[in-house]
A and B are shown apart, each in its own frame.
Chain A
Amino acid sequence: MTDYVIQTDGLTKRYGNILAVDELSIQVRRGHVYGLLGPNGSGKTTTMGMLLGLLRPTAGTFSLFGETDNQEASLRRIGAVIETPSFYPYLSGRRNLAYFQGISQRGAPDEIHGLLDQVGLADRADSKFNTYSMGMKQRLGLAYSLLGDPDLVILDEPTNGLDPEGMLEVRELIRSLGDGQRTVLLSSHLLNEVEQVCDSVTILSKGKLIAQGTVDELIHSAGREQVRMKTTDNAKARSILAALDWVEEITADEDSLIVTAPLERTAELSAALGREEVYVVETAPIQISLEDYFLQVTGDQHEA
Chain B
Amino acid sequence: MISHVLGLTRWEWFKIRRRWLPWILLAIAILISQVILWGFYAAFHLTDGSIGDLIPPYEYASNQGVIEVTCEELLQGATVEQKASVLSPQEQDDFFTGLHEWTPSCEGYTTTDESRAFFTLPVSAALSLFMLFSFETGAFGIILLLILTASAMGSEYGWGTLRASIASGPGRAQFLASKMLAMVFIGVGAILVIVLITTLTSLLALLIPPAESGSIFLSGQWGNAFVFLGKTIYAIIPFVAIATFLTILTQSSAAGIGLSLGYLIVEWLVLPPILRINDTFEKINEGLLNQNVIEWMFAGNTQAAETLDIARTPDTLQGFLVILAYTAVFTAAAFWLFLRRDITGAKGG
Contact = CB atoms under 8 A, between A and B. Distances in A.
Give the most central of A73, A90, A91, A103: most B CB within 10 Å: A103
A interface, by DSSP: helix, strand, loop or mixed?
loop
A82 B159 contact: no
A83 interface: yes
Contacts of B164: 81, 85-87, 100, 144
Nearest to B173: A72
B20 to A, nearest CB: 8
A192 interface: no
B143 to A, nearest CB: 23
B14 A53 contact: no
Contacts of B344: 49, 54-55
A90 B166 contact: no
Given A82-B345, A90-B18, A103-B8, A72 B170 contact: yes
Given A56-B342, A86-B164, A99 B14 contact: yes
B342 A88 contact: no
A75 B175 CA distance: 14
B8 A86 contact: no
Contacts of A136: none
A52 interface: yes
A224 B15 CA distance: 57
Interface string B305-349: 000000000000000000000000000000000001011111000
B343 A54 contact: yes
Contacts of B231: none
A54 B343 CA distance: 5
Contacts of A171: none
Interface in A47-98: 49, 52-56, 72-76, 78, 80-91, 95, 98
Nearest to B155: A88
A109 interface: no
A80 B344 CA distance: 14
A82 B159 CA distance: 13
A139 to B, nearest CB: 15
Interface residues of B, number: 29
Nearest to B178: A103
B167 A86 contact: no
A102 interface: yes
Interface in B1-41: 7-8, 10-11, 14-15, 18-20
Given A91-B15, A100-B164, A78 B342 contact: no
Interface residues of A, number: 35
Contact of A86 (B7, B11, B20, B346): B346
B19 A100 contact: no
A22 B241 CA distance: 38
B250 interface: no
B167 A80 contact: yes
Interface in B132-189: 159-161, 163-172, 175
Interface string A254-295: 000000000000000000000000000000000000000000
Contacts of A82: 163, 167, 345
Nearest to B19: A90
Given A100-B164, A102-B11, A103-B11, A88 B159 contact: yes
B159 A75 contact: no
Contacts of A89: 159
A88 B161 contact: yes
A27 interface: no
Contacts of A91: 15, 18
Contacts of A85: 164
A46 B144 CA distance: 37
Nearest to B168: A104
Contacts of A56: 340, 342
**Closest 5 A-B residue pairs measured CB to CB?**
A75-B169, A86-B160, A104-B168, A76-B169, A52-B167
Interface of B: 7-8, 10-11, 14-15, 18-20, 159-161, 163-172, 175, 340, 342-346
Given A55-B344, A75-B168, A87-B164, 5 more contacts: A52-B166, A54-B344, A75-B169, A84-B160, A95-B14
25 contacts: A49-B344, A52-B166, A53-B166, A53-B167, A54-B163, A54-B342, A56-B342, A72-B169, A72-B171, A74-B169, A80-B167, A82-B163, A82-B167, A82-B345, A85-B164, A86-B159, A88-B159, A88-B161, A99-B15, A102-B11, A102-B14, A103-B8, A103-B165, A103-B175, A144-B164
